[in-house]
Amino acid sequence: MPMRHVASVAALLCAATAATIAVGAAADVATPSDCDVAVIGAGIGGLYTAWRLLTGGSGGGGVAPKVCIFEASARTGGRILTLRGADALPQGFDGYTVDMGAYRWHRRRHALTRMLADGPLNVTSTCYTDPLGRDETCGAEDRVLVTARGRAFFSTPNVSVDEQLATWAPGLIPYAIPPAGRWGVNASAGGRAASTGPRSPRDWLIGPDTAVPEIAARWADLDGARDYAAAMAVVDEILEALRTSATGYRGTPYTQVSVLQIARDGGYAEEELAALLDMGNSVGDAKWYQTPLSDYARVQLRNVALERWTFPSADEPTGMVNPVDPETGRRAGMATVLDRLAEAVTAAGGRLVFGHRAIFLGRPSGQNGTAVTVSFSNGRSVTVRRVIVNAGKADVAAWGVASLPIAGASAEFRTALDAVYVAPSSKIYCWWADAWWLTKLGRTRGRARMEAPLFSLRYHDGSVTCEDPERLTGCRGALLVSYVLGDATGVRQSIWSHGFSAVPFSPLSGAPDNAVDRFTRAEARNDTGGRRGLLWDATLTALRASHADVAAASGMNASELIPEPEACASAVWWDVGVHALSAYARGAPGRDWLRTFAAPAPGVHLVNEAWGEDRGWAEASLRSAERVLYHHFGVARPAWMEAVFHKSVVERWNAGTRA
């Protein structure tokens, strides 16, 4: 099992203990009055910004400011929410940790997350697809079960799902694919015989056949770049050409047209997109195809260059990883990253204050500079020189047009804020005393794409143990049975309504931190309100229906294959999910709204995945934070951060050579 080890086990365990003590000692409900900078929100972006301000200096080596972090809830993390410990997990499953929100990062594409986790935070990580720690290489997230439009495809020892779907054929693929979009040996003359699946809107952006002239002109240079640094430089030049393009796409600025629009203009059919989303590994990719090309391209092109990064050891994981306990190798949860950041913040003198929900940002009476007074729902307030807002659109909108940063903001910022929207997400984990996917199916990894109301199941996502990991006997643990991000049709959201609390988790409702609900079998059966019972029945029914053919092939019925779980937990991130950017964004050609978000009003800075690129990942929040630190606080690149990355992505805003 490839594992990215860091300091000694003893040192790490001491550090983890110290983090708990430090956070507990510094976290209080009193409102400090001597803060220079207030950070609103203790998510990864807020904690990171505070830590860098405290330890990185400001203004070219000046005295570090006094930083206070105000968090509405009683925990750090925001949408990073790990269920761990005996109090949070079902009885009998202590140690079977699951992440109900953010849960992993890519070691090449999410370079800032990797550098932070590997470097100063010393987080041990390992392959996302290897929960039992038994693979010598990180396996792929192959499709092993697909149910779509009444058809079921599942991998067997003789043929995989990918092999079954590698060629379009009438009667096999339940989608009306036009001749130009068909693939495999049945592709039309001069068509896509070398391809093994449906076309993607991304095909019109990335690759030698791109429909974007500025990319086409330099694709050979990027594809043939000799190394990481050379590839990063080519991407800078392509992004500069896109940013300064005089024509855009057929006269429309790249800030105002989506890659999906370009694909449809090029003959891409709706049925192709449906096949891609229903039968592929997407958990909601459609929203990214609908973002402005300028926004989507900076992520996709930069990823091409970041994939050239060379790790010191050939044995290191290069794809998706998540944190593990260095002693046991078992999954520790993304909250591990927050623990280390919180420890670093408090060790550097930062104050972490819980139970303070910001409800209004205004100027102190008679002042027009950068000073801001933050008012909290508990009736208290604090006046500071600068404010870092580590929150998404829902919070900013809830404060209202009379509050900073909207009050007095430019028309450009208001338009940019309008263009950002929330893509709801939902996750469901269940715990079994007999991990049937391991003991009965032998599935240690892979994805299942199911029809409504469940969506994407992942056999490798969940903390599990086996008495004999090689023979897969005596296994128990948790399984991610459904995960979905966004849904234009509402079909995939049908299960979410069963998970709602009486008061939704949103800034407007003022609800407590109630995005997650965990319940046992008995609690679901005895739930007189019906929500838990409905969710339980819908989950189990859909799970068994999607595995009916798999069970039959193994000589069982679905109920024999999949018993009732011991407990389940659902997370509904409806109002505070991930963010995306609408392609209707009517900004001036060439204008980069990341700059607008970084400083929408004097003394106010937005730091969150909503205000960065590569939204939906912790990486977006960290990038937005690092840009605010560098451009608005004068905090220099730390020694642990790679220089080429900082130059292109932070100093130049990932927007070109002269951005």
Q: Which tens digits make up the pLDDT trace of 117-128? A: 999 999 999 999
Instruction: Report the number of distinct structural domains present in the chain.
Output: 3
- Express as a percent the part of the chain with pLDDT over 90: 75
Query: Residue 325 falls within a domain, yes or no?
Result: no
- Specify the pLDDT at position 490: 60
Q: Which tens digits make up the pLDDT trace of 279-289? A: 988 887 888 99
Q: How confident is the model at residue 14 (pLDDT cuts 50, 70, 90)?
A: very low
Query: Residue 591 falls within a domain, yes or no?
Result: yes
Query: Residue 316 falls within a domain, yes or no?
Result: no
Query: Residue 324 falls within a domain, yes or no?
Result: no
The verdict on 256 and 271 lying in the same domain is: yes
Residue 344 has pLDDT above 70, yes or no: yes
Query: Residue 179 falls within a domain, yes or no?
Result: yes
Q: Which residue has the higher pLDDT, 329 or 21?
A: 329
Q: Which tens digits make up the pLDDT trace of 157-169? A: 999 999 999 999 9
- Specify the pLDDT at position 593: 87
- What is the C-alpha separation between 522 and 249, in angstroms, rounded? 58
Q: What is the mean pLDDT of residues 324-348?
A: 97
Query: Residue 436 falls within a domain, yes or no?
Result: yes
The C-alpha R_g of the chain, in whole angstroms, comes to 25
Query: Residue 209 falls within a domain, yes or no?
Result: yes
- Specify the pLDDT at position 478: 99
State how far Cα 43 lies from the chain centre: 13
- What is the C-alpha separation between 52 and 131, in angstroms, rounded? 33
Q: Which of 553, 577, 601 is the last residue of a domain?
A: 577
Q: How confident is the model at residue 529 (pLDDT cuts 50, 70, 90)?
A: low
Identify whether the C-beta of residue 41 lies closer than 8 Å to the C-beta of residue 390: yes
The verdict on 98 and 32 lying in the same domain is: no
Q: Which tens digits make up the pLDDT trace of 309-320? A: 999 998 899 999
Q: What is the mean pLDDT of residues 515-543?
A: 88
Q: How far is CA 507 from CA 231, 393, 395, in A?
A: 42, 10, 6
Q: Which of 577, 596, 629 is the last residue of a domain?
A: 577
Residue 348 has pLDDT above 70, yes or no: yes
The verdict on 289 and 405 lying in the same domain is: no
- Candidates 514, 480, 477, 478; CA nearest to 499 is 514
Q: Which residue has the higher pLDDT, 443 or 189?
A: 443
Full domain range(s) for residue 215: 143-306
- Specify the pLDDT at position 158: 92
Q: Which tens digits make up the pLDDT trace of 589-635? A: 556 889 999 999 999 999 999 999 999 999 999 999 999 999 999 99
Q: How confident is the model at residue 136 (pLDDT cuts 50, 70, 90)?
A: confident
The verdict on 553 and 601 lying in the same domain is: no
The verdict on 347 and 462 lying in the same domain is: no
- Specify the pLDDT at position 10: 29
The verdict on 219 and 189 lying in the same domain is: yes
The verdict on 552 and 587 lying in the same domain is: no
- Lowest-confidence pick of 406-415, 417-426, 481-490: 481-490
Read off the CATH number of the domain in which 356 is found: 3.50.50.60
Say what the pTM is.
0.94
The verdict on 438 and 532 lying in the same domain is: yes
The verdict on 441 and 546 lying in the same domain is: yes
Give the mean pLDDT of the chain. 90
- Specify the pLDDT at position 56: 87
- What is the C-alpha separation between 280 and 271, in angstroms, rounded? 13
- What is the C-alpha separation between 236 and 647, in angstroms, rounded? 10
> Among positive and negative, which fits the CA dihedral 543, 548, 551, 556?
positive
Q: Which of 558, 577, 596 is the last residue of a domain?
A: 577
- What is the C-alpha separation between 315 and 135, in angstroms, rounded? 12
The verdict on 106 and 134 lying in the same domain is: yes
Q: Which tens digits make up the pLDDT trace of 376-409? A: 999 999 999 999 999 999 999 999 999 999 998 9
- Specify the pLDDT at position 513: 81
Contacts of 471 (CB under 8 A, 6+ apart): none
Task: Tell me which range, 2-11, 427-436, 566-575, is most confidently predicted by mean pLDDT.
Answer: 427-436
Read off the CATH number of the domain in which 450 is found: 3.90.660
Q: What is the mean pLDDT of residues 71-77?
A: 95
Q: How confident is the model at residue 37 (pLDDT cuts 50, 70, 90)?
A: very high
The verdict on 345 and 384 lying in the same domain is: yes
Query: Residue 317 falls within a domain, yes or no?
Result: no
Identify whether the C-beta of residue 326 lies closer than 8 Å to the C-beta of residue 337: no
- Specify the pLDDT at position 592: 80
Q: Which tens digits make up the pLDDT trace of 493-512? A: 556 555 556 677 888 887 77
Residue 429 has pLDDT above 60, yes or no: yes
The verdict on 162 and 293 lying in the same domain is: yes
